[in-house]
A and B are shown apart, each in its own frame.
Chain A
Amino acid sequence: MTTVVTPRAAGTPAAPPDRGAPPAAPPHPHRSRLGARRRRSALLWALLLAGPNVLLLLVFVYRPLLQSLYLSTLQWNLGSPVARFIGFGNYAEWLTAPTTGRVVLTTLVFTVATVGGAMVLGLGLALLLNRRLRGRGAARTVAFAPYVLSGFAVGILWLFMFDPRYGLIQELLGWVGLGSPAWYTDSPWPLVMIVVVYLWKNLGYVALIYLAGLQAVPQDLKDAAALDGASSARTLRAIVLPLLTPTTFFLLVTMMLASLQSFDIIQAMTQGGPLGSTTTLMYSIYEESFVTGRAGYASAVATVLFLVLLAVTAVQMRYVQRKVHYS
């Protein structure tokens, strides 16, 4: 296409591209050949530079993805040398299985609680760490540290703390005269426990990203607001938060994708139990493929989760990004 792009003034809509018009003939055929050669060499460079990455993606992401799609059409037991083709049978079974509703609901609750909680608490933490306090550097390090710890180790340690008989938390609750809930066994406490640990682990990450966003908020805007007599709450609402929307958008997408795929903490703490009360979609894939051994069915559930992730990303790209203010 040879549409001429002109810098457009703020507020004026972009000129619609003239779709029906035939492309104008290139003015200098000689230069065009040169251009073609340059383009070819550029393409070669691009292939050379991106090639190894693309190759890795093909082998380790796209090929397994396609193979998993194929497996989802089989009735196949993990480890078995034989399988039976059943088309969409696994999908039909998932849609009608009595446990599906519970798994979807658990996934929903877990995702909303972890993403929402981490965003709100992370922003609060970032605002706190953004102040000129003594020991701020140390506080930032401490806040970020859990994020780099192994999720499995974190899960095991928190499991000790939650222990209703000997744990630190029942001790603390005891000081204020409260008994410990049966964290491991009584619904909904196991799910609450998982959410708390997940939040604790990921809060530092959210806070760190928000902190970077906060520091990019121009001081002159805040000064102007202060001159106009805006309260700090008003400044936060009218200036800081709108300017943080790119950060918020980025965090929303990454946190949601991460939360939907979280596995380590659940595996370390509850193994999806008791009675499936902490079995998320992701965890059910593991359970079906490795515990029950139904790898074909698990592949179908994995495809469902893949579609959910794709949809989440697409919706966010389409609707949320429009409301983002890039300063």
Chain B
Amino acid sequence: MALTAVAAVTLTACAGPSVGATSGDDASAAEDVDWSQVEPADEITFWSNHPGQSQAYEERIIAEFEAETGIAVDLVTAGANYDEVAQRFQAASQTDEVPDVVIASDVWWFRYHLNDQIMPVDDVLEHLGADAADYQPALYADYEYDDQHWAVPYARSTPLFYYNKDVWSAAGLPDRGPKTWAELEKWDAKVSKEVGDDGSTFGLSTGPSWGAWWFENMIWGQGGAYSDGFDLTLDTPESVAGGEFLHDLFHESGVASLSADDVMADFSAGVIASTIGSTGSLTGALDAASFEVGTAYLPDGPDGGGTPTGGTGVAIASSSTPEEQLAAAMFVEYLTDTENTAAFSQLTGYMPVRTSAVESETMQQTYAETPQFRTAVDQLADKARVQDDVRVFVPGADALLNEAIEQIVIEGTDPATAFESIAPRIETAYTENVEPYL
């Protein structure tokens, strides 16, 4: 039946939404739990997509956690990526099939919060004596709203500039990334000779939870932004200039080509000599490429630039019992403690989420052996900028921004027109889905 897709949701959502009520009132009531009176549950559930192909790692951590605390963690593969986990988590709301710990990516956690699906972690972490101040401030602050934190950082990344060192040296270029986009354009003549007719100097791919992420660097580089607070600023001359820069990269200077599906596959195969990829792709690239892989900061534009942070945190479900929540918090703390975040970073290339882990012996040794791992951490300290509110806080805005980016990249649409085509829809999403709940 045609209605099955939505019916599947309603089947599970037995109670359904309450019509006419306003949100936010009852959420705070549940927060005042005296954690010292709570005994942790014996068993909890964790929904993950195993970022950076970390399933075996997560299983190992869970086994160690159980040995230490006696709390069993049921690890569920709830999707292949952040979006799929989020879709399932939302579809499961108001049912019994809700996990206690869930992956909460940069563009999804706020929607969980708007739906009252997750709880603030500050109190329970304090009760556990978890050193929240040790989380890298730029990463932990991403989950802050209403003076509370709604998740803790787990698999956190920034976009990185990846380049093919072999091609670079054959082209007679210095062994570093371009400082500015203009410099990359200048290098294009030399590099494109080395990659042949089928390849290109630089390649990018688009897609939800991706295109609108790296583009922040470019729009910021021209002095623009998606929004100022929740006010859209896509129509300012600076933002349009950001779009024009992207347009020219593909359609004027021809420096960039569009990678069909997996940009890292094209890079590892040597078809494109450089690209933007997530930190989380680093280990994969190092393994797959037959050449030496270089990593660098994202290039600047005339107005600077900077890098957004992204990836995912882990959040605790508000619908779980206090006992489960306490056990969940213990697990979350364990998963992101100094030792484990260092091990996770070493394995996947994601950034260590604790300051102490960056300084740890494990990481220092990794950085000495594989300096590429160091770039993301340095870039975070030097260039990180908080993402524009609209992308991370307005449901669906990321997908719409990506649509405008695809219009520009694929169809060569005039950037101002492309932005105009999505702006009203973002505004609708804001007035319908965010404003009433603030």
Interface centre among B5, B206, B407 (most CB of A within 10 A): B5
Residues of B258-286 whose CB lies within 8 A of A: 258, 260-261, 266, 269, 271
Partner of B6, one of A79, A163, A184, A295: A295
- Which residue of A has the minimal Cβ distance to B92? A79
**Alpha-carbon gap, A309 to B2, bound state (A):** 8
Residues of B1-27 whose CB lies within 8 A of A: 1-11, 16-23
In the complex, B195 has a CB within 8 A of chain A: no
User: Are B266 and A74 touching (Cβ within 8 A)?
Assistant: no
In the complex, B45 has a CB within 8 A of chain A: no
The answer to whether A78 and B91 touch (CB under 8 A), given A67-B7, A275-B406, A293-B396, is yes
Interface centre among B87, B89, B260 (most CB of A within 10 A): B260
Interface centre among B4, B6, B22, B117 (most CB of A within 10 A): B6
User: Are A82 and B22 touching (Cβ within 8 A)?
Assistant: yes
Nearest CB in chain B: distance from A173 CB, A? 14
Nearest CB in chain B: distance from A306 CB, A? 4
**Alpha-carbon gap, A68 to B13, bound state (A):** 11
- Which residue of B has the minimal Cβ distance to A79? B90
In the complex, A164 has a CB within 8 A of chain B: yes
Nearest CB in chain A: distance from B204 CB, A? 12
The answer to whether A295 and B9 touch (CB under 8 A), given A163-B260, A165-B271, is yes
In the complex, A211 has a CB within 8 A of chain B: no
Partner of B5, one of A60, A76, A289: A289
Note all chain B residues with C-beta closer than 8 A to A182.
Answer: 260
Interface centre among A77, A182, A303, A308 (most CB of B within 10 A): A77
**Alpha-carbon gap, A164 to B236, bound state (A):** 37
Note all chain B residues with C-beta closer than 8 A to A285.
Answer: 5-6
Nearest CB in chain A: distance from B435 CB, A? 12
User: Are B17 and A83 touching (Cβ within 8 A)?
Assistant: yes
In the complex, B49 has a CB within 8 A of chain A: no
Interface residues on A, range: 35 or more
- Which residue of A has the minimal Cβ distance to B198? A165
User: Are A60 and B91 touching (Cβ within 8 A)?
Assistant: no
Note all chain B residues with C-beta closer than 8 A to A274.
Answer: 206, 406, 410
User: Are A82 and B2 touching (Cβ within 8 A)?
Assistant: no
Nearest CB in chain B: distance from A271 CB, A? 8
Residues of A79-97 whose CB lies within 8 A of B: 79-85
Interface centre among B4, B18, B87, B271 (most CB of A within 10 A): B4
Partner of B21, one of A67, A82, A275, A293: A82
User: Are B208 and A68 touching (Cβ within 8 A)?
Assistant: no
User: Are A79 and B117 touching (Cβ within 8 A)?
Assistant: yes
In the complex, A126 has a CB within 8 A of chain B: no
In the complex, B66 has a CB within 8 A of chain A: no
User: Are B20 and A292 touching (Cβ within 8 A)?
Assistant: no
In the complex, A273 has a CB within 8 A of chain B: yes
Partner of B396, one of A67, A184, A291, A309: A291
Note all chain B residues with C-beta closer than 8 A to A298.
Answer: 5-6
Interface centre among B1, B22, B207, B407 (most CB of A within 10 A): B1
Question: In terms of DSSP, what is the predominant structure of the interface of chain A?
Answer: mixed
Partner of B395, one of A67, A71, A292: A292
The answer to whether A286 and B5 touch (CB under 8 A), given A74-B17, A275-B410, A293-B396, is yes
Partner of A275, one of B90, B266, B395, B407: B407
User: Are A78 and B1 touching (Cβ within 8 A)?
Assistant: no
User: Are B22 and A299 touching (Cβ within 8 A)?
Assistant: no
In the complex, A45 has a CB within 8 A of chain B: no
**Alpha-carbon gap, A58 to B21, bound state (A):** 30
The answer to whether A166 and B23 touch (CB under 8 A), given A68-B7, A78-B9, A182-B260, is no
In the complex, B126 has a CB within 8 A of chain A: no
**How many residues on B have C-beta within 8 angstroms of the other chain's C-beta atoms?**
54
Note all chain B residues with C-beta closer than 8 A to A291.
Answer: 83, 87, 208, 396, 399
User: Are A61 and B1 touching (Cβ within 8 A)?
Assistant: yes
Note all chain B residues with C-beta closer than 8 A to A163.
Answer: 260-261
- Which residue of A has the minimal Cβ distance to B14? A67
In the complex, B411 has a CB within 8 A of chain A: yes
In the complex, A65 has a CB within 8 A of chain B: yes
Residues of B107-124 whose CB lies within 8 A of A: 111-112, 114-117
User: Are A65 and B5 touching (Cβ within 8 A)?
Assistant: no
In the complex, B403 has a CB within 8 A of chain A: yes
In the complex, B94 has a CB within 8 A of chain A: yes
User: Are B91 and A290 touching (Cβ within 8 A)?
Assistant: yes
User: Are B19 and A74 touching (Cβ within 8 A)?
Assistant: yes
User: Are A185 and B2 touching (Cβ within 8 A)?
Assistant: no
Nearest CB in chain A: distance from B352 CB, A? 31
Interface string of B301-323 (1 = CB under 8 A from A): 00000000000000000000000
Interface centre among B19, B20, B399 (most CB of A within 10 A): B19
- Which residue of B has the minimal Cβ distance to A164? B260
In the complex, A209 has a CB within 8 A of chain B: no
In the complex, B429 has a CB within 8 A of chain A: yes
User: Are A293 and B90 touching (Cβ within 8 A)?
Assistant: yes
Residues of B71-113 whose CB lies within 8 A of A: 83, 87, 89-91, 93-94, 111-112
**Alpha-carbon gap, A290 to B18, bound state (A):** 20
In the complex, B433 has a CB within 8 A of chain A: yes
Nearest CB in chain B: distance from A61 CB, A? 6
User: Are B407 and A80 touching (Cβ within 8 A)?
Assistant: no
User: Are A165 and B2 touching (Cβ within 8 A)?
Assistant: no
**Alpha-carbon gap, A310 to B92, bound state (A):** 30
Residues of A247-263 whose CB lies within 8 A of B: 260-261, 263
Partner of A292, one of B16, B396, B406: B396
In the complex, A17 has a CB within 8 A of chain B: no
Note all chain A residues with C-beta closer than 8 A to B19.
Answer: 74, 82-85
User: Are B403 and A299 touching (Cβ within 8 A)?
Assistant: no
Note all chain A residues with C-beta closer than 8 A to B21.
Answer: 81-82
In the complex, B432 has a CB within 8 A of chain A: yes
In the complex, A265 has a CB within 8 A of chain B: no
In the complex, A324 has a CB within 8 A of chain B: no
Nearest CB in chain A: distance from B243 CB, A? 15
The answer to whether A293 and B111 touch (CB under 8 A), given A273-B406, A309-B2, is yes
**Alpha-carbon gap, A98 to B422, bound state (A):** 11
**Given A165-B260, A292-B395, 5 further pairs, Cβ under 8 A:** A81-B115, A82-B21, A85-B19, A274-B206, A291-B396
Minimum-distance CB pairs A-B, first 7? A64-B7, A79-B90, A83-B17, A292-B396, A184-B260, A79-B93, A290-B87
25 A-B pairs with C-beta separation under 8 A:
A60-B11, A64-B3, A68-B7, A71-B10, A76-B17, A77-B395, A80-B17, A80-B23, A80-B114, A81-B18, A84-B20, A165-B198, A165-B260, A165-B271, A271-B207, A273-B406, A274-B206, A289-B5, A290-B90, A291-B87, A291-B399, A292-B429, A293-B395, A294-B396, A306-B2
